[in-house]
Chain A
Amino acid sequence: MVGEIKIEHVKKTFTNPDGSEVIALNDVNLDVEPGSFISLIGPSGCGKTTLLRAIAGLDLASEGAIYLDGNQVTEPGYERGYAFQQATLFQWLNIKQNIAFGLKARGVYKKEKDEVDRFIKLVGLEGFEKSYPHQLSGGMCQRASLARALVGHPKVLLLDEPLGALDAFTRMKMQDEILNIWKEHKMTMVMVTHDVDEAVYMSDKIVVMSARPAKVEKVIDIDLSRPRLRGQDAFLKYRTEILEILDFAGHVQEAEYFI
């Protein structure tokens, strides 16, 4: 089993235009077991996305280090797939070309051609191979974006609120689809979300982060069998527990935890 992430004493500072420094992450430590599904949750602006981007190698940590299977992360790479908040499909490529992009960039497209078709089917986009992104709905674009990140068989899939822009029903459907893909491929999943229900529904572990500078406030194991029921007592208990932690920490902001 591969896909073990170790985050050791990660600190990330940003410099404001006026020269002052903002500490986005302060001494974050976290171990993610291979093949598990974890969610990062916390008040907005707390640095969840910064942490996710650091794992991806898009922004490097100012101090500390992140390891994937023992190798330090120094740059972006396909073994850490990333699903962005917006689908960011390449507008000039059709759906099939978008999904094949990574394989072509790495020069392995010829060998793994069939994977492209398999993933198009898996995310339910057969018949739309030749369509351009602007012709598809937001949900379909997000599916294509997931397929694009998954087709190279990453060890880790990083999800940055990938369902945030979707309506409630599409969102719940997509949650099940992501879980199905995860069940089949068993890669490590790290998801940033604002949605407590989504986190409890999908994760093995939920990492609750405090407001800036972000630290890991608490790691909660979700000990529920799958598939989960959203109305179940135990489900609601976890939900309340997380909301209380955030309340207790005094950083809950408006009603952002409800859809």
Chain B
Amino acid sequence: MKKHIIRLLPILSIGLAVLLHNEIPNSTLQPQAEKPYFTYFLEILLGLYIICVVVSYVSKAFGEWLITKAPLWAGAVLLLNIINLAFSKYAMLPVLYFPCLDRVFEVFVTDYKLLWECIRSSFRLLAWGWLWGAGLGFITGVGIGFNKKLSYWVSPFTKVIGPIPPTSWSPLVLSLFTTSYHAAIFMIALAVWFPITLMTSSGIQNVQNSYFEAASTLGAKKYYRIVHVGIPAAMPHIFLGVFYATCSSFVTLVTAEMLGCKSGIGWYLNWVKSMMLYSKVYAGLIVLAGICTFVLTLIFKMKDKILVWQKGMIKW
């Protein structure tokens, strides 16, 4: 019985939000949207949730999962509801910076082409920068980790270059590279390269020597020990590096796009801010949050696959 009530919580929460949104008129101070887009959004949510509920009666495992999530979702909708009351209905905060939710959701309808273009552009930039940075970072890290000579010559270099915020290279990089696109890739790659290099090399250097000894008494030669002992044993460290690197790549992505690029979500945010279109700023932030969450979730899924042998390291 209790489970049924929990399952209904999000529906009640959405119902309450729709009711209040329709019954209480928007504040006259707020510029109005053409259509009640917030209601549309809530209705879509309701539709999706009802599908979830139907599935939960078919699949027991999904049902269990849904019950753990339902209160959280209900709470999230309640929070939106409160924000809607504060912003749209009673205009408690300056209306220029805190637009009504109808107008925020309107942006996804009116600007979807541009937003989609920006998402694609940001992803392309992030993917190229991340792949270059992670690849080179891994190679540098493994080199420093295993080769004393390389460590002697290269690690001071990484220690000096690494901690500099990557975007502070922009004055130099923007004039060196022919396009701001390539400059941005370079800065993102730099942002990703450092944490991965550092965590890979320190991970490898901290592998217990007994693992290498055990491997060598089993007949493993040096190269085999590097690939099959050193690197896997350092994987938890490497993933920590990947996590830091990814977070710092988001910062660099947005800053780089704000600096020189002509597209991308960072550029979009900067542009709509300069036009004082704060409803679009919120929409852009929502999109950005979506991108970051998506990428990090992807990375943690990858981590769970590779580090099955380990009990939970970083929770996400």
Q: Give chain A's interface residues, CB within 8 Å of chain B.
A: 56-58, 75-78, 80-82, 84, 86, 88, 90-94, 101-102, 104-106, 132, 134, 148-149, 152
Contacts and interface: CB of A to CB of B under 8 A. Distances in A.
B296 interface: no
Contacts, number: 74
Contacts of A132: 308-309
A152 B218 CA distance: 8
B210 A86 contact: yes
Contacts of B307: 92
Interface residues on B, range: 20 to 34
B309 A93 contact: yes
B35 interface: no
Given A90-B232, A91-B233, A76 B216 contact: yes
B300 to A, nearest CB: 18
Q: Is the interface of B mostly helix, strand, loop or mixed?
A: helix
Given A91-B309, A105-B228, A134-B309, A56 B217 contact: yes
Contacts of B211: 88, 90
B245 to A, nearest CB: 21
Contacts of B304: none
Given A84-B210, A132-B309, A134-B311, A92 B218 contact: no
Contacts of B208: 88
Chain A CB count within 10 A is highest, among B218, B219, B229, B310, for B218
Interface in B188-219: 208, 210-211, 213-219
Contacts of A82: 213-214, 217
- Chain B CB count within 10 A is highest, among A91, A93, A132, for A91
A220 B215 CA distance: 34
Nearest to B218: A102
B309 A92 contact: yes
A30 B215 CA distance: 27
Interface of B: 208, 210-211, 213-221, 224, 228-229, 232-233, 235, 307-311
A101 B311 CA distance: 22
A149 B218 contact: yes
A88 B214 CA distance: 7
Contacts of B228: 101, 104-105
B229 A58 contact: no
A63 to B, nearest CB: 23
A92 B217 contact: no
Contacts of B311: 134
Contact of A58 (B217, B218, B309): B217
Given A58-B213, A88-B214, A92-B235, A102 B220 contact: yes
Given A92-B232, A92-B309, A105-B228, A148 B218 contact: yes
A182 B204 CA distance: 37
Most buried by A among B217, B224, B229, B309: B217
A130 B17 CA distance: 51
Given A84-B210, A132-B309, A76 B217 contact: yes
Contacts of A93: 232, 309
